[in-house]
Amino acid sequence: MPIDPNETRVSEWVTTVDTVFPNQVNPVGTLFGGVVLQWMDVNAAVACARFCRQVVVTASTEPVDFRNPIYVGEIVEVRGRVAWTGTTSMIVRCEVHGENPITGERRLCTIGHLNFVAIGEDGRPTPVPHLRVETDLERRHWATGERVRQDILRRRRPSADGDGPGR
């Protein structure tokens, strides 16, 4: 159903939990980055769908920093929340923690932003509600989302030689 673009909504954190199996590691024995990206993508898509109650597609993955490795047998917690909204797009902040199941020690391992677009019944981008930010933390996350948005716009601008988008 089309959204009233003047409507404002809050966004709730979505938390998904997994554990690392031996078939998910890279040659140095830690969780393969592509698996982390898939978990982040699904988590962020759910955060967006719950926020706008529309079908959403991934438009871009923005900087994703793999800060610490995650090991076999560890618990992986992915947390995502819509941090910024445009007209039809949403930027999700996604944080990934690794947790030792025995000691309970937790580390922030990956952090990134993903950009989604809501798709209407005609298959075209459709408006999303405006995100309502209420806390200082949400305001800081909005400001980070705004910087991510500016990077997206810079990247999509045609390059000086007219040869497609600039990078």
Ligand X SMILES: CC(C)(COP(=O)(O)OP(=O)(O)OC[C@H]1O[C@@H](n2cnc3c(N)ncnc32)[C@H](O)[C@@H]1OP(=O)(O)O)[C@@H](O)C(=O)NCCC(=O)NCCS
The radius of gyration of the chain from alpha carbons, rounded to an integer in Å, stands at 17
Paired sense of beta strands 106-119 and 89-99, if any? antiparallel
Q: Does 86 bind ligand X (CB under 6 A)?
A: yes
Q: Does 147 bind ligand X (CB under 6 A)?
A: no
For the bound state, the minimum distance from the C-beta of residue 118 to ligand X, rounded and expressed in Å, comes to 9
**CB neighbours of residue 96 within 10 Å:** 28
Q: Does 61 bind ligand X (CB under 6 A)?
A: no
> How many whole angstroms separate alpha carbon 93 and alpha carbon 143?
11
The binder of ligand X chosen from 11, 89, 110, 126 (CB under 6 A): 89
CA-based nearest residue to 92, from 127, 52, 134: 52
> How many whole angstroms separate alpha carbon 124 and alpha carbon 88?
10
Nearer to ligand X, 106 or 132 (CB): 132
Q: Does 38 bind ligand X (CB under 6 A)?
A: no
For the bound state, the minimum distance from the C-beta of residue 131 to ligand X, rounded and expressed in Å, comes to 11
Footprint of ligand X on this chain (CB under 6 A)?
A: 57-60, 86-89, 115, 117, 125, 152
